[in-house]
Amino acid sequence: MKSGTTFLTSLLINHPEIHIIKRDMSHAYFDDDRVFKKGETLYRSLFKEAESLDENIVVGQTSADCAFNPNSVQRIMDYNPKTKLIFVLRHPVDRAYSLYWHQYGMGREFRKFEQAIAKEPELIKKSYYNLKNYSYLERGRYKSQFDKILQIVPKENLLLLDFVSLVKETKESINLVLDFLGVSAIQDVEDLNYSELPRNPALIPTSHFIVQVSAALQRIGLTPIGRRLVNAFREEKRPPEMNSETRAQLTKELADDIKFYETVRANFQTKIQALKNEKY
């Protein structure tokens, strides 16, 4: 979550050789244990529209939980060993902070960031809902996640890219993704309607008290009311900078995961440079 999944999806759905099924959290078959228990028939029903497509069309779906749920990737490979998996990674500390402000802006989180990450280990053990929504640091523990994934997925079926490259060098990043999928490259990002993509600006609540009330309403099952309330008190602006001591603490705690991320970024940058060199 908060690593560019929506951005990547919004680009790929505009490619004529790619079909991505509608993204719906209730369809998260592989990575949501509650949905997985409903059985394979439900999952297959999501692809009815794709059955009439040309056999050369690449068909897929998106998820923000695939790496995080330890059972997800194994389930995918058991279902179809030829599946290709693309993961977008973001710096673990930045990703955690971005997710916090997303949840705060939705009225789900009412604590200050430092309080939220201190409460996280206890909170995510209480329910599956909490695990999905309040795993700020846990989702960024890439080293342990990908140690397992790299053992399950064949190297040729796995692509790891980084958030910064995707955002700042979009054309090259997308062409590497398209090459991985075996479809035609683009000449310009506008081939994928880049300038018309939906944007998700940061919307920050202007009142902490309203966030507290909204969170309380959502906890007792009045989610629509809580969401409407907090939405009425949000404005578009960047979140404040993270406290420097907090950043230093998290950088130390997530050192192995940051190292893994930086290796992924370096490797992907090498591929981008090689792609640029081919053009000249």
Residue 263 token pair:
């290796």
Tell me if 115 is assigned to some domain: no
Provide CB contacts within 8 A for 99, sequence distance 6+: 1, 2, 136, 139
For residue 25, the model assigns a pLDDT of 64
Domain count, the chain: 1
CB atoms within 10 A of CB 161: 26
DSSP per position, 79-144: H-TT--EEEEE--HHHHHHHHHHHHHHTTS--S-HHHHHHHHHHHTTT-HHHHHHS-TTGGG-HHH
Q: What is the CATH number of the domain that holds 54?
A: 3.40.50.300
CB atoms inside a 10 Å sphere around CB 75: 15
Residue 51 domain boundaries = 5-91+142-198+257-278
In angstroms, rounded to a whole number, what is the distance separating the alpha carbons of residues 235 and 224? 19
Residue 137 lies in a domain: no
- Domain annotation covers residue 34: yes
Q: How far is CA 259 from CA 7, 70, 96, 244, 263, in A?
A: 24, 21, 16, 20, 6
Tell me, yes or no, whether 121 lies in a domain. no
- pLDDT of 131: 87
State pLDDT tens for residues 95-104.
999 999 999 9
Domain contains 214: no
Please name every residue paired with 87 in a beta bridge, in sequence order, or none if there are none: 160
243-259 per-position pLDDT tens digit: 999 999 999 999 999 99
pLDDT for 34 equals: 84
CA distances from 106 to 110, 209, 220, 231 (A): 10, 14, 16, 8
Q: What is the pTM of this model?
A: 0.90
Q: Is residue 116 part of a domain?
A: no
| Of 45-59, 150-164, 171-185, 237-251, the least confident | 45-59
**Axis crossing angle, helix 142-152 with helix 255-278, rounded to the nearest 10:** 60
221 belongs to a structural domain? no
Domain annotation covers residue 248: no
Tell me the percentage of the chain whose pLDDT exceeds 70: 98
